[in-house]
Amino acid sequence: MVKKIEKDHNRFRQIIRSRIKKDLRKYITRGELIGKKGRDLVSIPVPQINIPHFRYSPKQTGGVGQGDGEIGTPIAQGDGQEPGGAGEEAGEHILEVDVSLDELAQMLAEMLELPNITAKGKKNIVSQKDKYSGISLAGPESLRHFKRTYRQALKRHIITRTYDPDNPIIVPMREDRRYRTWKTTNLPEANAVIIYMMDVSGSMGDEQKEIVRIESFWIDTWLRYQYKNISARYIIHDAVAREVDQDTFYRTRESGGTIISSAYKLANKLIDESYNPAEWNIYLFHFSDGDNWGEIDTDECVRLLEKHLLAKANLFCYGQVESPYGSGQFIRDLDHKFNDHEKIVLSEIPDKDAIYRSIKEFLGKGK
């Protein structure tokens, strides 16, 4: 029998979904999602599902709480989420719908009509991971669960009437002891790698970097959906290139000139060192404002692409953001050289609204 709630639940899902779809652009361009990323879930606030009422502005209301703390001690963030209080009725909080990244990727795919990627047919290496998930009666002392053991002992004392409230000493026996146990799970080993490269020269401003950040998030989401496990490497460059961690990648602001070939050289080196193209699906993304230092270096870039990178990678994507300083010449040079090369995708991203189209251009090839 179909449960009665299922109809209402589906109805709700439909509303949410179509809202997400309708507003997907908005979320992408706002980049709100990234800020609220949990481990595997993204919280999407669904603004209009909250049926509007006449109600007090929460910031003026305040309330009553209970607990320690001096006057002035902060008890909650002010961003919409108010602390709970007496008289609080259901529905006074902003609803956040948790969407798993997989679901999000599916919606993105539906929306952008993205084809699934046909991966290079390589064997999957499987790795094993242990997770502590249970309690057992036997085990090594180093894994003894103190609280459970204590509880067991306390229980026994009370049942056998040996518990003395005035002298509450609990002596655990052998049988009281409880131990943590673990389960082993198999995880498919990553066989895809994304190498992100970004121009951080003086002409790349905060807005440009924001665009890169949002776009990378969606690319990441999609590729992670396609490959269950994936590695990512980050390269920043101005006149020289270096590898950094994800955080630095998005935050660094350098100055100075732009020599793009330095990044391509480094990417090539990374591939040669760790990612055998026969075993790995390699994705290269490069974001820049297209203001390279001289034609000689552009020629060098073309040579690197032709001879090395394009042969090794599944896909090379170049996204050019618009900046007030850059000439934006680089994309034209690439276009000229690699007109319709099947492994290269070029995309111009003048503003945040263009991210949506750009993702489609990058990932629409199904490679």
Partner 1 sequence: MNLPVHLSAVKDEIKESAREFGLDFYETIFELLEYDEVNEVASYGGFPTRYPHWRFGMEYEELSKSYSYGLSKIYEMVINNDPCYAYLMRSNNLVDQKLVIAHVYAHCDFFKNNLWFSRTNRKMMDEMANHATRVRRYMEKFGEEEVEDFVDVCLSVENLIDPHAPFMEKKETAPEDKDEEPQPVSLRFKSKDYLDPFVNPPQVIAAQRRMHEEKVKSQSRKFPEESWRDILQFLIEQAPLEKWQRDVLSIIREEAYYFVPQGQTKIMNEGWATYWHSKIMTSRVLNDSEIIDYADHHSGTLLTGAGRLNPYKLGVELFRDIEERWNRGMFGKEWEECDDLTVKRSWNKNLGLGRQKIFEVRKMYNDVMFIDAFLTPEFCREQKLFAYNYNDRSSMYEISDRDFKAVKRKLLFQLTNFGQPIIVVDDANYLNRGELYLRHKHEGIDLKIDEAHDTLRNLSMIWTRPVHLETILEECKTLLSFDGEEHRETEID
Bridge partner residues of 347 (DSSP): 319
**Closest Cα to residue 263, out of 196, 213, 330?**
196
99 φ, ψ (degrees, to nearest 5): -115, 130
Q: Are 227 and 281 in contact (CB under 8 A)?
A: yes
Half-sphere exposure of residue 209: CA atoms within 13 angstroms, side-chain side: 18
Q: Measured from the CB atom, is 53 or 336 closer to partner 1?
A: 53
DSSP symbol at 238: S
- For position 22 contacting partner 1 by CB under 8 A, the verdict is no
Alpha carbons 27 and 21: distance in angstroms, whole number: 10
Q: How many residues make contact with partner 1 (CB under 8 A)? A: 59
Among 1, 60, 123, 126, binds partner 1 (CB under 8 A): 60
C-beta of 38: minimal distance to partner 1 in Å? Answer: 10
Distance separating alpha carbons of residues 107 and 98, to the nearest angstrom: 14
Indicate whether 36 belongs to the interface with partner 1 (CB under 8 A). Answer: no
Interface segment toward partner 1; rule CB under 8 A; list 9-17, 197-205, 238-246, 295-303 = 9-17
Residue nearer to partner 1 on the CB measure, 4 or 336: 4
35 near partner 1, rule: CB under 8 A: no
Cβ burial 16-36 (10 Å sphere, 16+ → b, else e): bbebbeeebeebbbebebbee
Angle between helix 206-226 and helix 101-112 axes, rounded to 10 deg: 100
Give dist(CA 96, CA 29) in Å, integer: 19
Site for partner 1 contains 59 (CB under 8 A): yes
**Residue closer to partner 1, measured from CB, 145 or 233:** 145
Q: Strand, helix or coil at 262? A: helix
For residue 169, state whether it binds partner 1 (rule: CB under 8 A). Answer: no
165 interacts with partner 1 by CB under 8 A: no
Smaller CB distance to partner 1: residue 70 or 340?
70
Say whether 19 sits in a helix, a strand or coil.
Answer: helix
71 binds partner 1 (CB under 8 A): yes
User: Residue from 94, 95, 125, 311 that binds partner 1 (CB under 8 A)?
Assistant: 95
Shortest Cβ distance from residue 69 to partner 1 (Å)?
5
Strands (DSSP E) found in 119-210: 126-136, 179-188, 192-199
Q: Binding to partner 1 by residue 85, rule CB under 8 A?
A: yes
Question: Judged by CB, which is closer to partner 1: 41, or 239?
Answer: 41
Within residues 335-354, the interface with partner 1 by CB under 8 A covers none
- With CB under 8 A as the contact rule, the residue among 3, 123, 131, 174 that binds partner 1 is 3
Which residue, 54 or 278, is less far from partner 1 as judged by CB? 54
First CA to last CA across the chain, in angstroms? 43
Which of 2, 75, 169, 171 is in the footprint of partner 1 by CB under 8 A? 75
Q: For residue 147, what are the CA distances in angstroms to 140, 152, 154, 177?
A: 16, 9, 10, 10
**Residue of 1, 2, 35, 87 that binds partner 1 (CB under 8 A):** 87
Residue 104's CB: how many other CB atoms inside 10 A?
A: 21
Give yes or no for residue 121 binding partner 1 (CB under 8 A): no
Residue 53 contacts partner 1 per CB under 8 A: yes
Q: Judged by CB under 8 A, which of 120, 151, 228, 308 binds partner 1?
A: 151
Which stretch, 91-99, 104-112, 189-197, 213-221, contacts partner 1 (CB under 8 A)?
Answer: 91-99
The yes or no reply on residue 205 touching partner 1 (CB under 8 A) is: no
Q: Which of 68, 113, 130, 273 binds partner 1 (CB under 8 A)?
A: 68
Residues 6+ apart with CB under 8 A from 139: 179, 180, 181
Q: How far, in Å, CA of 82 to CA of 72, rounded?
A: 16
Contact between 49 and partner 1 per CB under 8 A: yes
By CB under 8 A, is residue 186 in contact with partner 1?
no
DSSP state of 221: H
Comparing CB distances to partner 1, the nearer of 65 and 294 is: 65
Q: What are phi and psi of 196, to 5 degrees?
A: -95, 135
The binding site for partner 1 (CB under 8 A) comprises 3-5, 7-13, 15, 49, 51-79, 82-90, 95, 97-98, 151, 154-155, 158-159, 161
